[in-house]
Structure 1
Amino acid sequence: MASSSHSLASSAFFSTTPARKLPGSDRFPLTKSLLCRKIPGFSSSTVSVPVCCSNYASSDEKFSSGKKIVDSIFVACTSVALSFSLFLADVDSASAFVVTSPRKLQTDELATVRLFQENTPSVVYITNLASRQDMFTLDIFEVPQGSGSGFVWDKNGHIVTNYHVIRGASDLRVTLADQSTYDAKVVGFDQDKDVAVLRIDAPIDKLRPIPIGISADLLVGQKVFAIGNPFGLDHTLTTGVISGLRREINSAATGRPIQDVIQTDAAINPGNSGGPLLDSSGNLIGINTAIYSPSGASSGVGFSIPVDTVSGIVDQLVQFGKVTRPILGIKFAPDQSVEQLGVTGVLVLDAPPNGPAGKAGLLPTKRDSYGRLILGDIITSINGKKVSNGTDLYRILDQCKVGEKVIVEVLRGDQKEKIPVVLEPKPDES
């Protein structure tokens, strides 16, 4: 079939149809001749195009009219065929300008995009305002002195963030993901763990609580995601992995150690503080609280307070407005001073008589009538757990409860003594 078509297209020949008579003339038969030509764009077939009509003549006007009709049909068919062939011939060149569809995202990319879209409505922007007085007009006005991130804890309007984000604020404003802004009230805070709880009066349909996860089963190397508002920008997402567990940092407010901190290489910049750290399922596993960087920008070492610690603190702040953490009721010397004395432990500088340690009989450091320094008790262990410095002391007390009786072993002079002490709650500092 292909060979016959090719020969047919390459050699023009005439096919003659049987003659038919025209009206008014029985003497002159009309013979139609068709020329078979190959049309560009048709590779496997041929198209018969009427080329001319010959061998007819008539003195009759009707015969002349018929010739004109045939000529008109020929011109019309030729125009259509040429137009169609030009259209097909340009298809290949036109296809070069067709834009291909964008490459599809990979599965892990889609999961990250979905996580950001689903959790962004739970993350808020917090503005810390401070009151200032104009030195000329004496008018009081508010100026922003800091900002940070936070997240919605429940449908009651509770917002969780870092304490250092709200420290020193005269007023606080919370901006939700839809850019609506509300005045916030401080429910309570825990300076030792750098956690604070705010509350806003926002419609329930605008509050999207963040899913709460657990931090006890975290593993080094698993993916984490940090959402926040660095540098006052809109919501941003940074990714990384858990690079360390059970780290210990000091609270920026009190210097008290925070244990079991999560270390991550996800970028945590100024403004990310108070924002959530999420696992790959989109569940909260920590609060971004600090970075280790001389320049103040992310250097690949960020720290987050684990959610297991945060949950207990938030529950107490929401219920009581404060954290009932046990204390010994002492002031102790810096660790360097004790090391210079050549001993190991915590040197008691002061033990107020109305505090737990004072009531139990621990002796503070004082001067005698001649101005000589008399060292107080040096705490060496609590409940049999060795105390080498102030960090050890805090770590042990964090594992105790208010009202619990502990056995404090002290070095008094050259003698060791064991003194029972009943722990009391930390005074209200609000």
Structure 2
Amino acid sequence: MKNTIKIIVLAFLAGFGGSYTFYRLVVKPEIASNQRDAQFNTVSYDSTVPLISGSRTTSTSSSSAISAATVDFSDAAAKATQSVVYINSISQGVSYSYWDWFFGEGGGNRTQVSSGSGVIFTTDGYIVTNNHVVETAERIEVNYNKQVYPAELIGTDPSTDLAVIKIKATDLPAITLGSSKNIQVGEWVIAVGNPYSLSSTVTAGIVSAKGRRIGILEDKFPIESFIQTDAAINPGNSGGALVNKLGELVGINSAILSRTGSYTGYAFAIPIDIAKKVFNDLVKYGVSQKAFFGGNVVEYDYENAKKYDLPTNVKSFNGVLLEQLDRDGTAMQAGLKLGDVITKINNVDVNSQSEFEEELSYHNPGDKITFTYYREGKPGTVTLTLVNQNGTTEIIKRKILTDTSLGAQLEGTRYGVKVFKIKDSSVFKQIGLPENFTIVAINRQRVKEPEEISEFFSKFKGRGYIYGVNSSKQQVEIPFVIR
């Protein structure tokens, strides 16, 4: 037994001694070498050295930094935060089964609440936010200054991801509007919003790029010319403010580019110049006025030049390439041809598809504009009249039918008839139709006009079903009984 213990002790000491020797002779010198290689350089700051604030300096110092005074956003933040609100978008997820057909009990409800931000545009309660913040809402609430206000949806524009809502309040601190055309890449900006339900959060960054087209808008005629920034924007910031150093609104925060769903350094805002036009249209007409020229353009670059047999040995590819023309459209009537390179709209340079679409978005149907273009290396100009999506020069206005007998408002859409502002006494409420439901068919008969809904329910008795799309874009069949 004693011999065994001695052997174990000697083995332990031998192993320990070998390990220690290996550590001293091999491992420790290597660690020391690596530490020397990975040593961080220390940085000292001399407060007496003139610092750069985005412009050239005459200082002869070999190093430069950004002065703390030049990146003090306290004044801008104080101006902006008082004009940014917290928005709750509330909907009832409704499920239906065929048991409802027999017992008429309606579907099972589950309340869904999503949040976002909004910016006060006028002192009397008009607020701009993102369309995706409120598009699924059956009820909208605005939290501001420790009060909760019910909000009315004035209008939406999916093509720019903008919406306007209104609360009943006065003397609100409307934000100061700036200009997105004047903002420069590299300029400091701050984002104000309510990420992850953290109200009045301010983050700072720079304008990383302008005129970004990232392909996130699902509308048939999207307008994407985003301001890209590295100011931290996260879920809940949507609809909030992007402001410059003076506290002026230059963009409406809309999207992030991320694989995780959280901020990764790429955030995008809708330029305020686009937002102002959409706001005025929605308040005045209920819908945004889209202007079309009768064609489509793509990027003018090496690949597209080669595709259209245009010269590829040019110094620079300035302009956009006309790649599609509507038959008998205004562009074709004005004499434009496929492969024309459009370089200006009314003397404003357009060097990308996003710049072209942004400049066009400032106009209304009926406006006359001038294109400057090149064809076979020769310059030319053409003047044409913009039209609406129906091919006319008329201003399109939102048409709403208020049916007092049904106790609701009806509006014809591209897909069917939208029903909203449903009263408690309404037959729609009795059969379980949710707010902002779009009726596509009744008893397998397609409906397109509000009058068709009114006529059907004024006469029908018995069992039936409604097929349509709820505010969450879910296809739903709702069985009902009218006695």
Interval containing the TM-score (normalised by the shorter chain):
0.5 to 0.7
Equivalent residue, structure 2, for 1:228 = 193
After superposing the two structures, state which structure 1 stretch, 122-131 or 109-118, moved more: 109-118
Secondary structure class of the residue paired with 1:210: coil
Instruction: From 272, 281, 299, give the equivalent of 1:316.
Output: 281
- 1:133 and 1:141 in contact (8 A); partners too: yes
- Deviation digits for residues 261-280 of structure 1 (CA, Å, limit 9, x no counterpart): 32211101111111001222
Please report how far the alpha carbon of residue 310 of structure 1 lies from its aligned counterpart in structure 2 after TM superposition.
1.9
* Distance change (3 Å), C-alpha of 1:295 and 1:155: same
* Distance change (3 Å), C-alpha of 1:212 and 1:394: closer
Separation (CA, whole Å) in 2 of partners of 1:396 and 1:343: 27
* Distance change (3 Å), C-alpha of 1:286 and 1:396: closer
Separation (CA, whole Å) in 2 of partners of 1:343 and 1:387: 22
Alignment length (residue pairs):
300
Q: 1:183 is aligned with what amino acid?
A: P
Identity score, percent: 30
Secondary structure class of the residue paired with 1:214: coil
Q: Are positions 1:176 and 2:131 aligned together?
A: no
Separation (CA, whole Å) in 1 of partners of 2:373 and 2:180: 34
Structure 2 unaligned spans of 5+ = 1-66, 98-104, 311-320, 376-380, 391-395, 399-483
Q: Are positions 1:154 and 2:115 aligned together?
A: no
Q: 1:258 is aligned with what amino acid?
A: E
Q: 2:243 is aligned with what amino acid?
A: L
* Distance change (3 Å), C-alpha of 1:184 and 1:340: farther
Instruction: From 119, 128, 131, give the equivalent of 2:80.
Output: 119
Separation (CA, whole Å) in 2 of partners of 1:388 and 1:223: 24
Structural mapping, 1:224-373, within 5 Å: 224-250=189-215, 252-254=217-219, 256-259=222-225, 261-328=226-293, 348=324, 360=333
Q: Counting strand residues as a fraction of each chain, which structure ranks higher?
A: 1
- Deviation digits for residues 188-243 of structure 1 (CA, Å, limit 9, x no counterpart): 233222221111113x25x2212222333323333221111112232211112222
Secondary structure class of the residue paired with 2:287: coil
Equivalent residue, structure 2, for 1:424 = 387
* Distance change (3 Å), C-alpha of 1:111 and 1:420: closer
Separation (CA, whole Å) in 2 of partners of 1:109 and 1:234: 26
Higher gyration radius (CA)? 1
- Deviation digits for residues 97-141 of structure 1 (CA, Å, limit 9, x no counterpart): xxxxxxxxx975995445444432321112223343243652474
Equivalent residue, structure 1, for 2:161 = 194
Q: 2:133 is aligned with what amino acid?
A: V
Equivalent residue, structure 2, for 1:402 = 365
Please report how far the alpha carbon of residue 154 of structure 1 lies from its aligned counterpart in structure 2 after TM superposition.
0.8
Give the TM-score taking structure 1 as reference length. Answer: 0.56
* Distance change (3 Å), C-alpha of 1:397 and 1:182: same
Separation (CA, whole Å) in 2 of partners of 1:277 and 1:189: 20
Secondary structure class of the residue paired with 1:315: helix
Separation (CA, whole Å) in 2 of partners of 1:297 and 1:139: 35
Separation (CA, whole Å) in 2 of partners of 1:326 and 1:273: 26
Equivalent residue, structure 1, for 2:96 = 135
Secondary structure class of the residue paired with 1:308: helix
Separation (CA, whole Å) in 2 of partners of 1:241 and 1:224: 5
Structure 1 unaligned spans of 5+ = 1-105, 363-376, 412-417
Q: Which structure ranks higher in relative contact order (CA pairs < 8 Å, sequence separation ≥ 6)?
A: 2
- 1:333 and 1:349 in contact (8 A); partners too: no
- Deviation digits for residues 60-104 of structure 1 (CA, Å, limit 9, x no counterpart): xxxxxxxxxxxxxxxxxxxxxxxxxxxxxxxxxxxxxxxxxxxxx
Secondary structure class of the residue paired with 1:268: coil
* Distance change (3 Å), C-alpha of 1:145 and 1:250: farther
- Deviation digits for residues 404-428 of structure 1 (CA, Å, limit 9, x no counterpart): 27689999xxxxxx99864212465
